[in-house]
Each structure stands twice: as structure tokens, then as C-alpha cells.
Amino acid sequence: MIPPQEASARRREIEDKLKQEEETLSFIRDSLEKSDQLTKNMVSILSSFESRLMKLENSIIPVHKQTENLQRLQENVEKTLSCLDHVISYYHVASDTEKIIREGPTGRLEEYLGSMAKIQKAVEYFQDNSPDSPELNKVKLLFERGKESLESEFRSLMTRHSKVVSPVLILDLISGDDELEVQEDVALEHLPESVLQDVIRISRWLVEYGRNQDFMNVYYQIRSSQLDRSIKGLKEHFRKSSSSSAVPYSPAIPNKRKDTPTKKPPKRPGTIRKAQNLLKQYSQHGLDGKKGGSNLIPLEGRDDMLDVETDAYIHCVSAFVKLAQSEYQLLADIIPEHHQKKTFDSLIQDALDGLMLEGENIVSAARKAIIRHDFSTVLTVFPILRHLKQTKPEFDQVLQGTAASTKNKLPGLITSMETIGAKALEDFADNIKNDPDKEYNMPKDGTVHELTSNAILFLQQLLDFQETAGAMLASQVLGDTYNIPLDPRETSSSATSYSSEFSKRLLSTYICKVLGNLQLNLLSKSKVYEDPALSAIFLHNNYNYILKSLEKSELIQLVAVTQKTAERSYREHIEQQIQTYQRSWLKVTDYITEKNLPVFQSGVKLRDKERQMIKERFKGFNDGLEELCKIQKAWAIPDTEQRDKIRQAQKNIVKETYGAFLHRFGNVSFTKNPDKYIKYQVEQVGDMIDRLFDTSA
């Protein structure tokens, strides 16, 4: 049970809460009524606003549409007026631009091209819209006249500003590849920059708008002439430098040293004179040959002009490559890409044909020289051929994209030179073998025959062109002739490209063949001499000359490639000829040798027969000694060392034999007039022998 007091309190509390809830509910009802009233008022306002907006829209939209139509009409009017102005302007193009076109583009190319653009647009307009209009003919004529003026300006700019490249600059361009020190590239400015830009703009306009390709013919004709004249100018430079005894060089790039203002001459691609210089050194040591008959034209008499022409041609070949490269760079900026190769092909033809013609002339001259056995002229082919082969990769790169006929010109020339070179080598070997024995042409003193000196000189000159000469021999498949087996490893994919080792063996075999032919010919020539001793001296001199020449150059190493015993063989031949010569003194010493002397006892008076025999021995010795000394004094042994050696050996033999004879019979009473028979003392005999082989004594 809840106490009464607590129940009463609880009831009052509930009643208070109920009263508060009723008051809250009454407040909510009042608020809802006010909200409903406000909502009704807002709906009424919005309905009124919507009604007014609809009325406003119905009034504004027609006005807006009318304004839009007016604006469109205004735009159409403006466009129409603009089109009319544009159309009308075409009718004034001819009169507005005629003066500019008539005066030409010189000095005002930008303005001129702008006028041509206007004329072109006018032509296009009238063609599309009024093809029968007389205005079309006017602007067409004006356009053609303007195009002709641009073509004329192109020709004029190219003609006036295309200059021949000076020989000095070309030499700098060529020698730049050979300099050890790094130098700046020698730049060729074929056209001034401003002119070049004008030419480029004209060419592009003519291609794009003028529909004209004639200017490309003009371009290649002008540049072709300049290229050809530049190369010919270089050749003329060499000739003038030769005639004035000056060395062609290029002073355009100064040396760093102030005390040497001129730069060194460009390296001579050919070194034909090297062997001649070696021969001069040999002559200083008494090894040079004297006059002796040979149907080979003497190589020592080589004309300096041949060297000049050879050097000039070699430099012209290098110049062509460098100038052609430069021409292509210039052409690439001016001529459209799809016309560049054809235009370049035409551009280089004159200069290239000139080089090829000159090369064929060299081949033709070599062919004629072979017929008259002038092998010094043939040697000009070697440095040229070597240079052509070295330059061929650059040639091929420059001619890339040209016609096949153009690309094949250089290989054709190389083949011709290889063929004529191989022919020269074979004919030279045959001429060495078949050189006739002409008695009136043989050296009277038994010295070195001209055939020998010519042969050695020729072989020494081949040293500088070992690979070239080897390739010549290989190209003619001479390996079969010389019985040299061809190892597949010694050839590359190209049938004409051989390893250096194989070429060296071919050349070694060839040199041995020439030396063998020379030896056989010398043996045949030696038989012309009636005196076997002079024949021996002749062979000795020639063999000794050959051996010393081989030893003083690289020929001995080259010969040793296929003939290891060549040096020993020559020494044996030389010694054999010395012994043959010494036998010539037997007819002198036989008179006084022990085996031919009478036997007698000391102190016993000689019989008449014995005295007569001693007299005959003295007389025979004296007469033989005088005769041999008189004859052999006129003979020659150019090699001082060999001359002294032979004299000393002979002097020792004769002095020993005569000394013994004189000791035995010098004090014997075999005559009342001893001075008549004992004409010479031992030392006098030695002095007489010392004067042998000395024409000045």
C-alpha cells in the first residue's frame, strides 16, 4: 500500500505535467494556423507573379525575334559589302601590281612575291567565277610575266654570285684530312647568305606556285660550270707552280708559328721519286751504272712534268669529291627533295667526265708507253690507281642515288688502270728477259749495265705501291702463272679484293721473276765480251749492284717472302765471278810459278838453255803484267769496297809469287843486262795492280 500523502503528491505532479502538455498543444495549434495562413498568402503572391511573367514574355519575345532578324540582315549587308569590296579588288589587282611586276624583283623580293600572291588569287578567282572575263587574260599575262622575271632573277643571282673556288681554298679543303692537328673545318661559301635565302625562296615559289622546273636546269648548268672550272683551275695552278719552280701549297690557314708564315705543301700522294733518290745515294757510293745499251728508255731521265701532271690529277680527284659533297649540301637547300638526285647527277657530269677522260688518257698514254718500252711513264698509273682506290668509298658515298652509269665510271677507270698496270708489269718482265745483246751498246769498261739499273729502279719504285701492284697482278689471275695456290681465306667477297699477304706473295714472285730474267739476260750479254775476265767483271758489277740495291731497300725482305736464299745466291755468284777474273792472271803468274822453273844447283854455272829459260820467264811475266795492267786499268768496278777487295787479293797473289821468283833468280847471273829483265820490284808490281780499274790513273 502507498501511503495517502505520497499518492496525493503523485497526483498533483501528474496534473501539473498534464496542464503543461495542454498548454504546449494549444501553442502548436496556434502556430499551425499561422503557418497555413502564411502559405496561402505566398501561393497567392507566386500565382500573381507567374501571371505577370507570362504577360511580360508574351510582350518581349516578338520584340527579341524582330531585333535578331534585324541583326542578321545587318550582318548579311556587311558581308555582301565585304564580298563586293573583295571582288572589286580583283579588278584592281592588275593596275595595282603592274608597276612592281614591270620593275622586277631585284632588291624587293618580299614585296614582289606579295604582289605575285595577289595576282595568283585574282587568276584563281576569275577562272572560277568569270572565265570569259577580259580581266582574266590581264592577270594571267601579268602572272606569266612575273614568273619569267622570277626565273630571270634566279638565273641572275646564281650567275652573279656563283664563284669559282680558288685553288688555295681547295688545297686547304683537301689537306685538312691529312693534318695531324685538329683544325676547324674549311667552309665553302658558294653563295652569300642573303643571296642564298633569296634563291631558296624563289625556287620554292617556282615549284609551288609557278609549276616550273626549268630553273633546276638553270641551276645545274651554272653550278656544273663552276665545279668544272674550279677543278680545272686547280690543275692549272699546279702547272703554273711547276713552271715557276714553286711548290703548290695552301697559305689560307696560317701556321701557329710566326716564323713560318707559309704552311707545308700538301702530301704528295705519289712517291715515285723515292727510288730515284735511293739510286743517287748508291751512285755516291760508287754503285751507279754507266752507259750501257738497253731498249728500255732510261728511268733516270724521267720528265718532271709527269710528276706534276700526276700530282695535279690526284689532287683534282680529291677536289672533285670535296667540292661535290659541298655542292650537294647547297643543292639540298635549293632543289626539291624528289629532284635532288637527278639534278645532282646532271650537275657533276661535266667535271666527272673530265676526270674520267683524263684518266683514260693516262691509260692510253701508258698503253703507248708500253709499246715503246717507256715504263717510267707507265709508273704514273700506280700512284693514281692507289689514290682512286683509297678515294672510292668517298666517291661511292657522294654518287649515292645517281644513275648506274654515273656510279660505274670510277670502277671502270680503276679496272682499266689495273689492266694496263698488269700489262706493264708483264711486259717489263718480258723486256728484261728479251732485251737484245747489242755489242755496240755494251759498257766497254764492264760496269753496271743500264738494263740492270733500270730494272732495279723500276722494282724499287714498286715498293711504294706494293698493294696496288699486288692487286694488279691478282686482278689478272697471275697467281696461276706463278703457281701460287690461292687460299680462299686470302680473298674477300669481292673477286678483285685480296689479302695483303697474298698480294705480297704475288709481288715477291713477280720481283723474283724479273730478277731471274735479268740474270739470264746479263749472262747472255756477258758473252759479247771476247775477254772472259771482262765478262766476269761485268757480271760481278751487275750482281753486286743488284745485291747492294736489294739490301739498301726493302726489296730484299720482299724477295725473301718467296725466295729465302736469294741473298746467299747472289754472294755466291759474285764470288764465282771474282774467281773467274783471277784466273785471267794465271797467264802472268804461270811464267814464274815453282812448277815451271828450272832446277839448278847453287854455285854451278848455268847452261845457256837454263839462262834462256829464265830470261823467257822474266820477259813473259813483264809483258803479261804490262798488258794486263794496261787493259784492266780501263775497266771499272764502281763499288769501292769490292774494288779494293779484288785489287788486294790479286796483289797478294802476284806479289807473293813474283817475290818468291825474284828472290830465287834476282841474284842469279843469267844475263849481262839484268835491268832488261828485272824491270820491276815487288812493291812496284803492287803499285801497278793498285792502279787497276782506275781510268783516272
pLDDT in tens, 429-476: 999 988 877 766 889 999 999 999 999 999 998 888 888 898 888 877
Give the pLDDT band (50/70/90) at residue 278: very low
Q: What is the pLDDT of residues 405-433, one digit of tens each?
A: 999 999 999 999 999 999 999 999 999 98
The pLDDT confidence band at residue 226, using thresholds 50, 70 and 90, is very high
SS3 assignment, position 466: helix
Q: What is the C-alpha to C-alpha distance for residues 540 and 226, in angstroms, rounded to an integer?
A: 60
Q: What is the mean pLDDT of the chain?
A: 82
| pLDDT, position 75 | 80
One-letter amino acid at 299 equals L
CB 541 within 8 A of CB 638: yes
Whether the predicted model's global pTM rises above the 0.85 cut: no
* 616 residue type, one letter: E
Q: What's 269's DSSP letter?
A: S
Higher pLDDT residue, 407 or 502?
Answer: 407
Instruction: List, for residues 342-360, the tens digit of each pLDDT value.
Output: 999 999 999 999 999 999 9
Query: How confident is residue 62, by pLDDT bands cut at 50, 70 and 90?
Result: confident
> Where in 395-489 does DSSP place strands (E)?
none
Distance of CA 359 to the CA centre of its chain: 14
Distance CA 386, CA 463 (A): 13
278 against 458, higher pLDDT:
458
Angle at 630 between CA 624 and CA 634, to 5 degrees: 140
Neighbouring C-alpha atoms within 13 Å toward the C-beta of 109: 17
Find, among 209, 73, 193, the residue nearest to 143 by Cα: 209
The helix or strand, by DSSP H or E, that contains position 448, with its residue range, turns out to be none
User: Which amino acid does the sequence have at 295?
Assistant: N
* Cα separation, 149 vs 508, whole angstroms: 68
Give the other-Cβ count within 10 Å of 652's Cβ.
Answer: 12
Q: How far is CA 125 from CA 140, 145, 355, 445, 601, in A?
A: 11, 19, 54, 102, 146
Render pLDDT for 385-396 as a digit per residue (tens, 0 to 9).
999 999 999 999
- Residue 423's SS3 state is helix
Closest CA to 234 of 306, 323, 160, 330: 323
Q: Please report the pLDDT score of residue 489 as a whole number.
A: 43
CB 385 within 8 A of CB 468: yes
At 163 the three-state DSSP class reads coil
Over residues 334-343, the pLDDT tens digits come to 999 899 999 9
What average pLDDT does this structure show over 657-668? 85
Q: How much is the pLDDT for 179?
A: 46
pLDDT digits (tens, 9 = 90+) for 578-587: 999 999 999 8
The CA distance from 238 to 266, in Å, is 12
- What percent of the chain has a predicted confidence (pLDDT) above 90? 45
Whole-number Cα distances in Å, 134 to 126, 188, 210: 9, 51, 22
Which band of pLDDT confidence, cut at 50, 70 and 90, is reported for residue 304?
A: low
